[in-house]
Amino acid sequence: MDLLRITNLTTVFLTRRGVVRAVDHINLRIKEGEVIGLVGESGCGKSVSMLSILRLVPYPGKIIDGEVIFNGENLLKKPLTEMRKIRGKEIAMIFQDPMTTLNPVFRVGEQIRESLRIHGIINGNHGEKKRVFSWFANKARREFEQQRVMKLIEEVELPSPEERYHQYPYELSGGMQQRVLTAIALSCEPKLILADEPTTALDVTVQAQILELFNRVIKKHRTSMILVTHNLGVAAEFCQRIGVMYAGRIVETGPTNKVMENPKHPYTCGLLRSIPKISKKRVRIKPIPGNVPDLVELSHKCAFYPRCEKASPVCEEKEIELKEVEEGHLVHCALSK
């Protein structure tokens, strides 16, 4: 049973220059406990896809097509009040730059606790928010929340949790801040975590630590995760399945090892070829020629066509369908069999 199924999701931005198709008919599926990666260059629409799932796309963006089925319900059709119950509780998000993502005027502990408060997690039951006015009940609730937050801080492996609780974000290093963000995401025990380039702003050594933390946490809570990154190495190590995005479309998806060893889409091939490798032989890196296209008014034809080395007249003619080349391995290319 799929936990989340995205079909034909399309998000556009209505700007003065024209309509920017940031996300163009993408399809994605994820099961419980699965980790999938969304890989692609900057500006290819990965972040916007994540925001679209939670319907947090900023103005002037609009989701104009598609379905996002989570636990059997279409999130795009839900009223906002219900959507708010899902945000943070069923689906949580971890953002890219922890320094700017944490509110600088609130203490760290308070920010983690806020998630608990919003969703009314009292006494361990994920009940509805109850308005408890008596001071004693409030005190008990505060203490419970504080304990819960402490446990979370410990779980994300932050040293000296008591100190951390009362500190401000600027007092922490990048890695520590990212752990705090992870704690916030985990606080209500979500079923799905959307991680938008969580390691990009961090040092390489810290990156590895954070990924390991994710690993442990996911295994422990049986949470699913969509990991968005432009770093193929990270995706390869961490994710069970991978989706490759280009110009707002998913051009190839499949199990990680299959996509990495046997890439079928010319863009994926180009990406893999352009990674510098440590090896005995000195090999010239082959970058993909050309630039990412302007996302205003692309058509349903292949977006990679101008840069593709295997381009042929077939690519320009018809609408391109998703083809399954192996089991679970899908490619969006006119030339694959």
- Residues at the site binding other proteins, with contacts judged by CB under 8 A: 51, 54, 56, 58, 84-89, 92-93, 95-97, 100-106, 114-115, 118-119, 168, 170, 181, 184
CB of 94 to other proteins, least distance (A): 9
Smallest separation, CB 246 to other proteins (Å):
25
Measuring CA to CA, which residue among 4, 175, 215, 185 is closest to residue 95? 185
Minimum separation from the CB atom of position 50 to other proteins (A): 10
Q: How far is the CB of 193 from other proteins (least distance, A)?
A: 11
For other proteins, the closer CB: 92 or 308: 92
Contact 41, 99 (CB under 8 A): no
Considering the complex, what minimum distance in angstroms separates the CB of residue 275 from other proteins? 29
Task: Return the HEC string of 119-168.
Answer: CCCECCECCCCCCCCCHHHHHHHHHHHHHHHHHHHHHCCCCCHHHHHCCC
Residue 213 CB neighbours (<10 A):
18
Report the 10 Å Cβ neighbour count for 259. 30
From the centroid of its chain, how far is CA 76?
Answer: 18
Q: Which is nearer to other proteins, 97 or 189 (CB)?
A: 97
User: Closer to other proteins at the Cβ: 226 or 308?
Assistant: 226
Q: In whole angstroms, how close is the CB of 121 to other proteins at the nearest point?
A: 12
Q: Which is nearer to other proteins, 145 or 252 (CB)?
A: 145
State in angstroms the smallest separation of the CB of 196 from other proteins: 10
Give the SS3 label for residue 263: coil
Cβ proximity to other proteins: between 43 and 293 the closer is 43
Quick one: 90 or 252, whose CB is closer to other proteins? 90
H/E element, 27 = strand 19-31
Residues with Cβ within 8 Å of residue 19, at least 6 apart in sequence = 12, 13, 296, 297
Q: How far apart are CA 122 and CA 309, in angstroms?
A: 58
CA 242 to chain centre: 12
- Residue 177 CB, nearest approach to other proteins (Å): 11
Nearer to other proteins, 55 or 258 (CB): 55
> Which of 14, 29, 97, 16 is CA-nearest to residue 242?
29
Task: Specify the DSSP element, H or E, that contains 258.
Answer: helix 256-261
CB closer to other proteins out of 86 and 235: 86
Contact present, 337 and 325 (Cβ < 8 Å)? yes
